[in-house]
Chains A and B, each alone.
Chain A
Amino acid sequence: MKKWGAMLLALMLVVMAGCKGQPASEPEREPEQTEEAVGDQAEGEETPAQREFDGQIKIGLLTTGTAIATYTETVTYGAELAARQLNAAGGVLGKEVVIVPSDGSNTADETINGANRLLEDPEVAAVCGYPLSTGCLAIESLFKQAEKPVVISGTSVRLKDETDNNYLFRGRASDAIQARNAAAFLAEELGMNEVMGILYENNDFGQGALQVVEEYCKENGITLVAEGFNPTDTDITTQVLKLKDSGCQSVVTWIAASAVPTVSSNMYNQGLTVPKCGPVAVTLEENLANCEPEWIDGWYGVTDICMTKEDKALKDFIAAYYEAFGDDAYLSNEGANIYSHVLWICDAIERAGSTEGPAIMEAMRSTEKFPGLNGNYQLIGDKVDYVATIDIAQDTIVDGKVTNVFIKTVGEEQ
Chain B
Amino acid sequence: MKDKRSILKYFPLLMLGMIGILPLFMTSNYYQTICCQAMLYAVVALGLNFIVGLSGLMTLGTAAIYGLGAYTSALCCTKLGMNPWAALVPVLFMGWLIGKGLGYPSLRVQGVYLSLATIGFNEIVRSFLTNLEWTGSGTGIRNIEPYRIGDFAFDTQIRSYYLIYAVLLLFIGIAWKIVNSRWGRAFVAVKDNPEALQICGIDIANVKITAFTLSSVFAVVAGAMYAHFNRYITPATYTTDLSISFVVMLIIGGLGNFWGCIYGAYIVAFLPQLLRPIGLSYKLIYALIMMCLVVFFPNGLIRDMKKYLTFKRALKGGAASENNSQDR
Q: Which residues of A contact B (CB under 8 A)?
A: 2-3, 6, 10, 13-14, 17, 21, 24-25, 28, 65-66, 72, 102-103, 106-109, 112-113, 116-117, 119-120, 133-134, 137-138, 141-142, 145-146, 156, 158, 162, 202-208, 228, 230
* Chain A residues with CB below 8 A from B143, complex form: 162
Which single residue of chain A is at the shortest CB-CB distance from B143?
A162
Q: Which of A6, A21, A156 contacts B292 (CB 8 A)?
A: A6
The 3 nearest A-B residue pairs measured at CB: A116-B30, A204-B138, A120-B30
> Do residues B30 and A113 form an inter-chain contact, with CB atoms below 8 A?
yes
Q: Which of A2, A113, A137 contacts B273 (CB 8 A)?
A: A113
Report the minimum CB–CB distance from B100 to chain A (whole Å).
29
* Alpha-carbon separation in the docked complex, A320 to B152 (Å): 55
* Chain B residues with CB below 8 A from A65, complex form: 280, 283
* Alpha-carbon separation in the docked complex, A329 to B5 (Å): 59
Is B288 at the interface (CB under 8 A from chain A)? yes
* Chain B residues with CB below 8 A from A72, complex form: 280
Q: Which of A102, A108, A142, A206 contacts B29 (CB 8 A)?
A: A142
* Chain B residues with CB below 8 A from A158, complex form: 139, 142
Q: Which of A6, A25, A120 contacts B295 (CB 8 A)?
A: A6
* Alpha-carbon separation in the docked complex, A270 to B276 (Å): 46
> Do residues A66 and B280 form an inter-chain contact, with CB atoms below 8 A?
yes
> Do residues B236 and A162 form an inter-chain contact, with CB atoms below 8 A?
no
> Do residues A109 and B284 form an inter-chain contact, with CB atoms below 8 A?
no
* Chain A residues with CB below 8 A from B115, complex form: none
29 residue pairs of the A-B complex, CB under 8 angstroms, read: A6-B292, A6-B296, A13-B284, A17-B284, A21-B281, A25-B280, A66-B283, A107-B236, A107-B237, A109-B237, A112-B230, A113-B34, A116-B33, A117-B273, A117-B276, A120-B30, A134-B140, A138-B230, A145-B29, A146-B29, A162-B143, A202-B130, A203-B138, A203-B236, A204-B137, A204-B139, A206-B138, A207-B137, A207-B138
Is B234 at the interface (CB under 8 A from chain A)? yes
Is B147 at the interface (CB under 8 A from chain A)? no
Which single residue of chain A is at the shortest CB-CB distance from B137?
A207
Is B131 at the interface (CB under 8 A from chain A)? yes
Binary contact track B26-37/A, C-beta < 8 Å → 1, others 0: 001111011001
* Alpha-carbon separation in the docked complex, A113 to B131 (Å): 27
Q: Which of A108, A120, A202 contacts B237 (CB 8 A)?
A: A108
Other A-B contacts than A13-B288, A72-B280, A109-B230, 17 sampled, CB-CB below 8 A, are A25-B279, A66-B280, A66-B283, A103-B276, A103-B280, A108-B234, A108-B236, A109-B37, A112-B230, A113-B30, A113-B34, A117-B30, A120-B28, A134-B138, A137-B142, A138-B234, A203-B130
Report the minimum CB–CB distance from A337 to chain B (whole Å).
21
Chain B contact surface mostly: helix
Task: Find the residue from B28, B127, B138, B237 having the highest chain A CB count within 10 A.
Answer: B138
> Do residues A138 and B292 form an inter-chain contact, with CB atoms below 8 A?
no
* Chain A residues with CB below 8 A from B142, complex form: 137, 158, 162
* Alpha-carbon separation in the docked complex, A109 to B230 (Å): 9
> Do residues B239 and A107 form an inter-chain contact, with CB atoms below 8 A?
yes
> Do residues A113 and B33 form an inter-chain contact, with CB atoms below 8 A?
yes
Which single residue of chain A is at the shortest CB-CB distance from B231?
A141
Report the minimum CB–CB distance from B77 to chain A (whole Å).
16
Task: Find the residue from B33, B131, B139, B232 having the highest chain A CB count within 10 A.
Answer: B139
> Do residues A202 and B138 form an inter-chain contact, with CB atoms below 8 A?
yes
Report the minimum CB–CB distance from B160 to chain A (whole Å).
13
Q: Which of B131, B232, B234 contacts A204 (CB 8 A)?
A: B234
* Alpha-carbon separation in the docked complex, A120 to B138 (Å): 29
> Do residues A116 and B232 form an inter-chain contact, with CB atoms below 8 A?
no
Q: Which residues of B contact A (CB under 8 A)?
A: 28-31, 33-34, 37, 127, 130-131, 137-140, 142-143, 230-234, 236-237, 239, 273, 276, 279-284, 288, 292, 295-296
* Chain B residues with CB below 8 A from A205, complex form: 138
* Alpha-carbon separation in the docked complex, A142 to B156 (Å): 11
Which single residue of chain B is at the shortest CB-CB distance from A106?
B236
* Alpha-carbon separation in the docked complex, A230 to B33 (Å): 31
* Alpha-carbon separation in the docked complex, A206 to B139 (Å): 10
Which single residue of chain B is at the shortest CB-CB distance from A141?
B231
> Do residues A207 and B139 form an inter-chain contact, with CB atoms below 8 A?
yes
> Do residues B288 and A108 form an inter-chain contact, with CB atoms below 8 A?
no
* Chain A residues with CB below 8 A from B282, complex form: 103
* Alpha-carbon separation in the docked complex, A3 to B232 (Å): 44
Report the minimum CB–CB distance from A274 to chain B (whole Å).
26
* Chain B residues with CB below 8 A from A208, complex form: 138-139
> Are A10 and B30 also in contact (CB < 8 A) when A207-B139, A208-B139 are?
no
* Alpha-carbon separation in the docked complex, A230 to B127 (Å): 9
* Chain A residues with CB below 8 A from B138, complex form: 134, 202-208
Report the minimum CB–CB distance from B24 to chain A (whole Å).
17
Task: Find the residue from B30, B137, B138, B280 having the highest chain A CB count within 10 A.
Answer: B280
* Alpha-carbon separation in the docked complex, A362 to B245 (Å): 43
Which single residue of chain B is at the shortest CB-CB distance from A103?
B276
> Do residues B130 and A134 form an inter-chain contact, with CB atoms below 8 A?
no
* Alpha-carbon separation in the docked complex, A6 to B289 (Å): 11
> Do residues B288 and A10 form an inter-chain contact, with CB atoms below 8 A?
yes
Which single residue of chain A is at the shortest CB-CB distance from B226?
A109
Which single residue of chain B is at the shortest CB-CB distance from A146?
B29
* Chain B residues with CB below 8 A from A204, complex form: 137-139, 234, 236
* Alpha-carbon separation in the docked complex, A102 to B296 (Å): 31
* Chain A residues with CB below 8 A from B233, complex form: 108
Report the minimum CB–CB distance from A121 to chain B (whole Å).
9
Report the minimum CB–CB distance from B311 to chain A (whole Å).
14
> Do residues A134 and B236 form an inter-chain contact, with CB atoms below 8 A?
yes
Report the minimum CB–CB distance from A127 to chain B (whole Å).
13
Report the minimum CB–CB distance from B307 to chain A (whole Å).
15
* Chain A residues with CB below 8 A from B284, complex form: 13, 17
> Do residues B239 and A120 form an inter-chain contact, with CB atoms below 8 A?
no
> Do residues B230 and A108 form an inter-chain contact, with CB atoms below 8 A?
yes
* Alpha-carbon separation in the docked complex, A106 to B292 (Å): 25
* Chain B residues with CB below 8 A from A102, complex form: 276
Which single residue of chain A is at the shortest CB-CB distance from B238?
A107
* Chain B residues with CB below 8 A from A207, complex form: 137-139
> Do residues A112 and B236 form an inter-chain contact, with CB atoms below 8 A?
no
* Alpha-carbon separation in the docked complex, A51 to B279 (Å): 28
* Chain A residues with CB below 8 A from B130, complex form: 202-203
* Chain A residues with CB below 8 A from B292, complex form: 6, 10
